[in-house]
Amino acid sequence: MPSRLHPVHAALSALLLIGSPVAAEPPPAPPAQGAGAKTSPKPADPPGHAGGHGKGPAAGHGPAVETGGHHHAHGGMPHRFEKAADWVQRFEGPEREAWQKPAQIVAALGDITGKTVVDLGAGTGYFLPYLSRAVGDKGKVLAVDIEADMVRHMKERAVREGLKNVEARQSTADDPALEPSSADRVLIVDVWHHVPQRPAFAKKLAAALRPLGALFIVDFKLDSPRGPPRKHKLGPEQIMADLKAAGLFAELAKVDLPDQYVVTARIATKPASPQ
């Protein structure tokens, strides 16, 4: 497990993980609601829903905040996201959709109707309504996180939003807690730089993929003002190297996001469309 930071320190660094404060972006279309829902979704956690910001992300810190003092023994950026309530507003804020473009990311996963999709490091479950709708009634979304309170929050959220095909599960920092050959897609958004032993972790993910399955790792561009401080960011080449070290075929996916890139990986040794 990553070492713990002082709560204030953790809060400052965390501000930079899900984007810099954005003042005047238009409110987004809210995420989908319910498995297979075709109607306009609505957000489960509207801005201001969460309290508990004493320890979590406070507003008004810009991207230049340097967290300092991070320990990089294994390359991962130690960080804790212990209390879901501290992060809901930050992760689910109405400005996020404009730069996160969740619909584009979910579209990049291909046709996932009826598939099993893992959202690894799912946090407060930002992607769950989108994934739930995309896999439909016959599919399954497995929301995995190392933080017990995030898992509790996602379980409650799934019930509250009627996301019947979503299951939340707790994992550990070095083990994604997935059954062998069980996942068609594994989506990993803004998490990879926290993983302590990345190639070893990637090997476990590779074992969890079905033969034609694929990983999608989304992380912040090195030159983006969003995300963690630059020294904690990983470029796409580094992520592809981590995945290749685990025996996966990795390449940059063609997804055009303003602040992030997407690396995709498969068990196959040559490019192939995920099915």
Ligand X SMILES: C[S@@+](CC[C@H](N)C(=O)[O-])C[C@H]1O[C@@H](n2cnc3c(N)ncnc32)[C@H](O)[C@@H]1O
Interface positions with ligand X (CB under 6 A): 17-18, 81, 91, 120-123, 126, 144-147, 150, 171, 173, 189-191, 194-195
Distance of closest approach, residue 194 Cβ to ligand X, in angstroms = 4
Distance of closest approach, residue 89 Cβ to ligand X, in angstroms = 12
Q: Give the whole-angstrom CA distance, residue 4 versus residue 16.
A: 17
Cβ closest to ligand X, residue 143 vs residue 269: 143
Write down the residue that tokens 């829903």 correspond to: 49
Q: Give the whole-angstrom CA distance, residue 231 versus residue 77.
A: 10
Closest CA to 56 of 3, 103, 113, 18: 18
Give whole-number Cα distances, 100 to 31, 75, 140, in Å: 12, 25, 23
Distance of closest approach, residue 110 Cβ to ligand X, in angstroms = 19
Distance of closest approach, residue 66 Cβ to ligand X, in angstroms = 18
CB atoms within 10 A of CB 12: 18
Cβ closest to ligand X, residue 102 vs residue 139: 102
- As given in the structure block, the two tokens for residue 211 are 């033969």
Cβ closest to ligand X, residue 238 vs residue 268: 238
Cβ closest to ligand X, residue 211 vs residue 258: 258
Cβ closest to ligand X, residue 79 vs residue 114: 79
Closest CA to 144 of 116, 163, 164, 172: 172
Which residue has its beta carbon closest to ligand X?
123
- As given in the structure block, the two tokens for residue 138 are 């016959």
Distance of closest approach, residue 87 Cβ to ligand X, in angstroms = 7
